Chain A
Amino acid sequence: MAKITFDGIEVEVPDGTTILNAARTIGGGIVPPAMCYYTPLKGSGGKCRACLVRVAAGSTKDPRPMPKLVASCITPVQDGMVVENTTSEQVLNVRKGIVEMLLINHPLDCPVCDQAGECDLQNFAFEHGVSTTRYEEERRTFEKIDIGPLIQLHMTRCILCYRCVYTADQLTPGRVHGVLGRGDASEIGTYIENIIDNDFSGNVIDVCPVGALTDKTWRFKQRVWFTKPVNAHRDCPKCTGNVVLWYKGKDVLRVTARKNEYGEVKEWICNECRFEKKETADWTLEGPAAIDRSSVISANHYELPVVNPQIIADLPESSVRDLEQNPPLKLGN
């Protein structure tokens, strides 16, 4: 076990834990933002530099500060480490710079982007960035590419976090998804537009922190804050079948995997669950999915009737039983 001080709060974590995960055990507003690190994906992290923190003391043995800011998502803790995140002005200034760098080639087309409302970059820029830009040049643009019939890649929005690359590498056999080109001309490639023909390829949509990879069965259907997330499950032979259904009225517009409070997928879901099962009758409803209160999704009239059996006329028998046994949590009022 290693004891570290993070922003003045002492916490004890197992050896080998990263600084970011140690901060997450404390939770709250002191957790550094992460745009590329993704716990379920091995090897992710270190790229976006959003989680840079200052190490004021390396360890009890060697209490010198580290010369540069370190990426908290990949740096393991040492016993006696003192880390400054929100308490260091340098860190906050650098983070402001990182927001600026991530946004200079981002189209800022949030008004027409499906990710708006649940976008990591939006949240990150809102919390840590400045509202003006110093960038006058032309932004890089790409043609939209269809990755198979169900996923669309809009490279212009990509921040090159490599999450989808790791997902494709680690969930699907045979490397069909990687990065082509270099520098600010690099792009997510699918190996000459090879279709990712795999039951779990849809997960690249969930891991994308921005709107670069979108679900073609959901594109432009609805703003995310007008839909209601409902936890549901089904017996799926391929995956666990634990999902979130996004309702607008009676219609299931979208199916996604369940995510934790840091936006990380808890269990990967298969393409059949994601793209094909869009009827309430396919699912056993569990109740509203928890949404952060600060999220724009919960800000919009979050009400219960969505999962009320009387309104959803064709709710299956099992769902009614489930609902009676576990009445949904009341959110809002």
Chain B
Amino acid sequence: MGRKLLTEHINVEGIDTFEVYRKHGGYRSVEKALKTMTPDEVVEEVKKSGLRGRGGAGFPTGLKWSFLAKPEGVPRYLVCNADESEPGTFKDRQLMSKLPHLLIEGMITGSYALGARTSYIYIRGELLYVLRILEKAIAEAYAAGFLGENILGSGYSLDLHVHPGGGAYICGEETALLESLEGKRGNPRNKPPFPAVQGLYARPTVVNNVESIAAVPVIVNEGGDEYAKIGIGKSTGTKLISACGHLNKPGIYEIELGVPVEEFIYSDEYCGGIWKGRELKAVVAGGSSVPILPTELILKTATGEPRLMTYESLSDGGFVTGTMLGSGGFIAMDETTCIVRNTWNFSRFYHHESCGQCSPCREGTGWLEKVLHRLEHGHGSLHDIDLIVSVAKQIEGNTICPLGEAAAWPVAAAVRHFRDEFEWHVKHPQEATRYGAVYPGKAVLA
């Protein structure tokens, strides 16, 4: 059983209240940072920890913090991205609703490190009940003197606000999030300038995922070096994985990075194998936007090494035979799953969520969805299969924000590994569109 750094006390009765959380060692990092450390020392600890952004891209958090521009006399902001809406990812919701004070503690310590006097939590609008929990927890923190003027007599003051989003996936993109936070339409901004130079209200801003910020108290308490000992190579620490799909025990697991994928799926400690005694067919390892992999490639890399739950191991083989850890939305599909239908479903989501600002994404996501709809319902042609690969390629890399890539990657990967199944849909439409139809063939590995 691996160490639980974030979720150790998650099942303690009343942990969402200030007293219980404090009793279990809460807010120690705030005391330690504000009383004994300078802001730069906190940034240095986070750098040493090797913590990588938990929102999907995996960019080192300490490095991101050190890039923040610090002009004199200009306010800076720390913004927490709690707009978790990727299909398959549901870790932040749980973390915030069960351990609201952990996030607040991370926000205080992080804001202190960055010199922010006002910080924001931008939470997905649908998570209204979590918003209420956070607001209650923030009020408790204010009452206890951990927020507001002159925290713990250190002379440092911080105001923390929670802001609900209006229900758009695109607002999870950091610049769209900032636009939305400013009260505008959530369209991603052109970069450069990056948020570290011109972010919220054109001021230097750091945007971090909930889980990244929640890891900061642990790092400050235990020290960056100690945190870096967990995990393998450049993938340090623990990661929340939200496992769903055809598993015996779907749910949220905090794993030490480096657990083999096979162990994660089949051991009783984690997901406990595939349900109903069926075979695993494919896995989407990091939320709907990462490439889908067939069983053979998710358990072992193309070179035959066992695949581990780390940033490096999962992306081994690039996008030909690899995928990404992403945000940790682990979707397992058993042998009865229709990959074409699944790909169409993902495409439908991205079509619905494209902001419509730049042309390749606005037009391309709709096009992909329509062609995939045709293929799934048995009206496609073999030519359509090449068409969706070509359209995905036209979107990828040519858009303002990564939503274009998120829409293109799953389609390209599905055709790459499951082309035979797409062709089966074209050649045997009656059989393929029958209710409960199961494709009899195998996946293509490379």
Contacts and interface: CB of A to CB of B under 8 A. Distances in A.
Interface of A: 45-50, 52, 68-69, 71, 74-76, 94, 97-98, 100-102, 104-105, 134-135, 137, 159-160, 162, 178-179, 181-186
Interface stretch (B274-282, B359-367, B431-439): B359-367
A163 B364 CA distance: 21
Nearest to A95: B398
Given A94-B394, A97-B398, A74 B190 contact: yes
Given A48-B359, A137-B367, A160-B362, 4 more contacts: A46-B358, A48-B358, A104-B363, A104-B367
B358 A105 contact: no
Contacts of A46: 190, 358, 400
B397 A69 contact: yes
A97 B366 contact: no
Most chain B C-beta atoms within 10 Å of own C-beta, residue among A69, A75, A76, A135: A135
A49 B398 contact: yes
Interface of B: 168, 170, 185, 190, 192, 351-360, 362-367, 370-371, 387, 394, 397-400
Contacts of B400: 46-47, 71
A160 B359 contact: yes
B356 A101 contact: no
Majority DSSP secondary structure for residues of A touching B: loop
Contact of B356 (A75, A94, A181): A181
A45 B357 CA distance: 11
B16 to A, nearest CB: 35
A182 B168 contact: yes
25 contacts: A45-B190, A47-B359, A47-B400, A49-B358, A69-B397, A69-B398, A101-B360, A101-B362, A102-B359, A104-B367, A137-B367, A159-B359, A160-B362, A182-B170, A182-B354, A182-B356, A183-B351, A183-B352, A183-B365, A183-B366, A184-B363, A184-B365, A186-B355, A186-B356, A186-B362
A178 B356 CA distance: 13
Contacts of A182: 168, 170, 353-356
A184 B398 contact: no
Nearest to B168: A182
Contact of B398 (A52, A74, A181): A52
B359 A49 contact: yes
Given A49-B359, A184-B363, A68 B397 contact: yes
Nearest to B188: A46
A183 B359 contact: no
A183 B362 contact: yes
Given A47-B400, A49-B358, A179-B185, A101 B394 contact: yes
A97 B404 CA distance: 14
**List of 8 A-B pairs having minimum Cβ-Cβ separation, nearest first:** A97-B394, A186-B356, A46-B190, A183-B354, A101-B363, A184-B366, A137-B370, A183-B356
Nearest to B399: A49
Contacts of B170: 182
Nearest to A180: B185
A134 B404 CA distance: 20
Contacts of B365: 183-184
A182 B387 CA distance: 24
A163 to B, nearest CB: 13
Most chain A C-beta atoms within 10 Å of own C-beta, residue among B351, B354, B359, B365: B359
Contacts of B366: 105, 183-184
Nearest to A48: B359
A183 B358 contact: no
Nearest to A137: B370
A39 to B, nearest CB: 16
Contact of A179 (B168, B190, B192, B356): B356
